[in-house]
Structure 1
Amino acid sequence: MRNAKEFQPYPYLVMMMNCMLWVNKDSILFTTTNGAGMASQAVYISIFLFYCGGMNKLRRNIVLYLVAEVIAVAAVVLITLFAIQNLFGKQTFVGVICNIFNIAMYGAPSLVIPKVIETRSVEYMPGMLSFYGFINAGTWTAYSDRKTRSRHLRNSGLGMALCASQLIVYAMYLKSTPVKPSYKRLKFER
């Protein structure tokens, strides 16, 4: 059973864009965390592309989306370097775009909630992604609060709320999700 089935790649594609935007030459913290995020998303998306098999249209859309992301990041860099002259304007321009994709990253797993409610199954809901998103948003909320950066605090707080709502839906429908007999259980024998 090695195929992508109805799993959605979009939360991971949005996360890749978010990580690309937050890489910052002046901050080791932002560069290392987002560099690691980009690497993990590249691995996931590669695996997804490998297993989406006969879904050539989906594979093409994913590749086009990645190309569009690279073009968009290049455009942001070029606009920031050449079109905007003052530092405040540059920071505001990049900050607004980064915050939009930050919120989109936390909210993207919510796209599958209507399917969860319709099927009463969390089979295709990325529960661990929502959990780690909640932890991530909580960490950045604590960091923002400590540094008294209110705009980061608002965005991370909104991210926590989005991930919490996903986890609530996941918990509500977890028990009603049928267990697939095709999954093999590991046996540890002596």
Structure 2
Amino acid sequence: MILSVSSSVITICKDAAGVAGNIFAFGLFASPIATFRRILRNQSTEQFSGLPYIYALLNCLLCMWYGTPFISYDNMMVMTVNSVGAVFQLIYITLFIVYAEKIKKIRMLGLLLLVLGLCAIIVAGSLQIIDAFTRRIFVGFLSGASLISMFASPLFIINLVIRTKSVEFMPFYLSLSTFLMSSCFFLYGLLNDDPFISAPNGIGTVLGIVQLVLYFYYNNRTREDSSEPFIVEYA
């Protein structure tokens, strides 16, 4: 009886962490909207790079595939959040291709096809692995490595903040959303006994804390005439 109650509590806490993670992730996915308003207004991608959206799409697709019942058990929250993230990234990439210069347009289209092709190969290849445990390990390592690389991408911005002593290029709400989403899915992974979710998000939580500490430390030194903040996306 006690074990049954304990299991029910863990399940409720895990689901709550997953739902909260989905909500905070939406803030991350929506963060580039301001950038694309500018692109739509100016009818040009200017000096913005489309690579973050390509990386984010690859990460979302890999993590979405890991969250499906074909690969891992009871990871519906992971599948849903990354499905929404993939839709957001596809919209951003489409808009970028539409308003980019010809050379950037061709490069972005090529990268998009490369990502879709690579994911198709991974999906088809993993389905050929008969043993379910081995299949989960294979896809789990790929999705985990992709997620870690995405969480590690703000390191150059952290370095920039320290060098310039300014938080101009590190938006507060983006850093806060990163921390909240990572901590929720870190807890979700722990409660679900899934190291491929808890480990990468644990790293993301630590990096989110670092960003918040730096923000509050350097906030009073931020230049008032700061330009539009640089946007970095996660999944």
TM tier, smaller? 0.7 to 0.9
Residues 35, 150 of structure 1: CA spacing in aligned structure 2 closer, same or farther, 3 A cutoff?
closer
1:21 maps to: 62
Q: Quick one: which amino acid aligns to residue 18 of structure 1?
A: N
If the length of structure 1 is used for normalisation, what is the TM-score?
Answer: 0.74
Q: How does 1:37-186 map to 2 (within 5 A)?
A: 37-47=85-95, 58-82=104-128, 84-180=129-225
Q: Quick one: which amino acid aligns to residue 189 of structure 2?
A: S
Alignment gaps of 5+ in structure 1: 184-190
Q: Counterparts of 2:221 and 2:98 in 1: how far apart (Å)? A: 30
CA RMSD of superposed structures (Å): 3.2
Residues 139, 154 of structure 1: CA spacing in aligned structure 2 closer, same or farther, 3 A cutoff?
same
Matched pairs, number: 180
Q: Counterparts of 1:70 and 1:12 in 2: how far apart (Å)? A: 13
Residues 117, 58 of structure 1: CA spacing in aligned structure 2 closer, same or farther, 3 A cutoff?
farther
If the length of structure 2 is used for normalisation, what is the TM-score?
Answer: 0.62
Residues 165, 8 of structure 1: CA spacing in aligned structure 2 closer, same or farther, 3 A cutoff?
farther
How big is the shift at 1:98? Answer: 0.5
Q: Counterparts of 2:154 and 2:197 in 1: how far apart (Å)? A: 21
2:79 maps to: 31
Q: Counterparts of 2:141 and 2:173 in 1: how far apart (Å)? A: 28
Q: Counterparts of 2:213 and 2:79 in 1: how far apart (Å)? A: 32
Taking CA–CA contacts closer than 8 Å with sequence separation of 6 or more, which of the two structures ends up with the larger relative contact order?
2
Q: Counterparts of 1:150 and 1:181 in 2: how far apart (Å)? A: 40
1:188 maps to: none
